[in-house]
Amino acid sequence: MRYPDGALKNLTAAAGYGSSDPAGFQGANAIAVRDPAVAWDGTKALFSMVVGAPTQQYQVATYYWQLYEITGLGASQTPVIKQVPNQPTGFNNHSPIYGTDERILFVSDRPRSGERHLYPQLDEYELSPVNTGLWSLNPASGDLFQLDHSPSGDFTPSIDSYGRVIFTRWDHLQRDQEADADADDLATGQPLTYGTFNYADESAGAAYQLNQRAESFPEPRPSRTDLLAGTNLEGHTLNFFSPWQMNEDGTDAETLNHIGRQELGVYAERSFNDDPNLSYLPAAAFRAYMAQRGLALAVSRNVTIRDNADRQQPFNLRVPGGAQTIGAPGKIYDVAAMQFFQADQLRGAGLYDGSSTPRPGRRVLAQPLHDPAAQRFNAAQPGPVPGSVTVAADGSMAAFVPARRATTWQLTDGAGVPVVRERIWLTFQPGEVRVCASCHGLNNQSQAGGMEPVNTPAALVQLLQDWKAATGGGAIAARVYLPLLRR
């Protein structure tokens, strides 16, 4: 702390933390400090600290970053440091900030469900340990929930003058490159480089599926020429850090000001290689029902409409016998279903040749939506499109999705062939309803020169009618969706 008269004070040392001896082992007195954040009134601050260190050479021990709060910052005061109560123990918690409601927001590597066998979460890049995203804690009550489940990590949260939580997220939604390398090894008869495999499910006792490392989403990486052969796919890679925003309760999570990849100029090849239009160009009670079951609702008015600057994926889209939006002469793509995927931690690693013990932790894999509560009322597309909902004739879509678990999706035709894919993960909060006019929204106009759709989404009406009939919601449904449609 530097005071107005220029005096400096080492706050942690003044509070009795750390060692004054700079030489030799510091042992239990050793500390490291990071990420200080001052409270709104300037009388206290949050920070992350790890305490302790080995006492002799070659000794190995495990230490975790934990959240602390310091008070007594005045020049004549003695600082007092206390560990934040009720935070997750046995995990790394850091980058804390004060919310506006006495809660603390922070980054942690605690697994989404808190189950130790899923620790650590392994990133989508190199199967390295990574934080699981943003969390919210009420230190007094211990109420803890996840704001954003990030498969490859969230970083540096802050709150702006409008009360938005701003943070950076690593988006790397592509197939596992380590598993691809192992597949190459198998094809050439070489020992596995990474020893990747799939667990049968997320449970602690799940079986190792040693010869199974299949992924269903997204499309193969360019290096997998064996999987791309005979298709019209370019191959997909994605790896970027982008600014995100959300409310303090985790709702309305989106890229900052809802910008898209074409506006950021992030590399991504066109999705199909046989369509000249595509190019690489940076161009109520109802809520309580959902909240109690850990569900959210995703709605779109017309999925055939896209921003006119988005030319990376098909935009001449048609619902067979229904809505269509044509942006240029050429190939037209039929879309019949929106297929949702949930982030399941299934990918393990470390079973090299002759090894029987895998590495700790699991990587997220995109799996077709299989949450029973979410699927109960979803209007599933008939045929081979698991985890999907039917796109209504007006182009609308409505689906229940699991809350506080990363999800993503893709538009497919009636046979389940992908047409337009989402490229990022999104986390919904329990009871949250997200109504999008169209895919990614329009900056100025649609691909056909039109404006955002204002139709009453038929898919939402049908879903609410089904929900009402099954749950006895009565007139609640009308009170729910009509206000939504005025947003």
Instruction: For residues 439-463, give the mean pLDDT.
Output: 89
Banded pLDDT at 267 (limits 50, 70, 90): low
Tokens 């074409």 belong to which residue?
Answer: 262
In the chain, what percentage of residues exceed pLDDT 90?
71
Q: Look at residue 210 in the predicted model and tell me its pLDDT.
A: 79
Summarize pLDDT for 414-429 with one digit per residue, the tens.
999 999 999 999 999 9
pLDDT tier at 288 (50, 70, 90 boundaries)? confident
For the stretch 355-372, pLDDT in tens is: 788 999 999 999 999 999
pLDDT tens per residue, range 57-111: 888 889 999 999 999 999 999 999 999 999 999 999 999 999 998 899 999 999 9
Rounded mean pLDDT, 432-440 = 85
- Rounded to an integer, the average pLDDT of 2-7 is 94
CA atoms of 122 and 153, how far apart (whole Å): 10
Instruction: List pLDDT tens digits, range 457-478.
Output: 999 999 998 888 887 654 444 4
480 pLDDT higher than 50: no
Within 8 A by CB and 6+ apart from 283, the residues are: 262, 263, 307, 309, 310, 311, 312
pLDDT at 281 over 60: no
Res 19 pLDDT > 80:
no
pLDDT of residue 418: 94
Residue type, 418: P
pLDDT over 50 (residue 14): yes
Q: Specify the pLDDT at position 142.
A: 97
Which pLDDT band, with edges at 50, 70 and 90, does 160 fall under? confident
Q: Which residues lie below 8 Å from residue 484, measured CB to CB, with a gap of 6+?
A: 299, 433, 435, 460
> Which tens digit of pLDDT belongs to each residue from 171-202?
999 999 999 999 999 999 999 999 999 999 99
Q: Which of 49-53, 117-121, 255-259, 445-449 has the lowest mean pLDDT?
A: 255-259
- C-alpha separations of 250 from 93, 164, 167, 307 in Å: 18, 10, 12, 26
**Per-residue confidence at 479, pLDDT binned at 50, 70, 90?**
very low
- Reported as a single tens digit per residue, the pLDDT across 207-217 is 998 788 999 99
